[in-house]
Amino acid sequence: MSQKHVFNVTMTCGGCSGAVNRVLKKLDGVENIEIDMEGQKVTVTSTLDSDKLLETIKKTGKECSYVGVA
């Protein structure tokens, strides 16, 4: 079953948010990605668990943390 997971991610430009979007899009099991740059939030609809998603976002080199299920 897919859930909506919310993450805090430090993003300061379209290049930052585009990078986060690209790495998440590559994962199997990610259905939707919403990026709120102003609010510094990324919401991922996925069947994957939050640890796997957080680990993937971390690989971008951005500071990030898990907020919870939306």
Binding site for a second copy (CB under 8 A): 10-16, 18-23, 59-62
The CB-of-61 to a second copy minimum distance in angstroms stands at: 3
Token digits for 60?
């971008």
Q: Are 30 and 49 in contact (CB under 8 A)?
A: no
Residue 61 or residue 68: which is nearer to a second copy going by CB?
Answer: 61
Residue 1 or residue 34: which is nearer to a second copy going by CB?
Answer: 34
Residue 2 or residue 12: which is nearer to a second copy going by CB?
Answer: 12
**Residue 40, H or E segment:** none
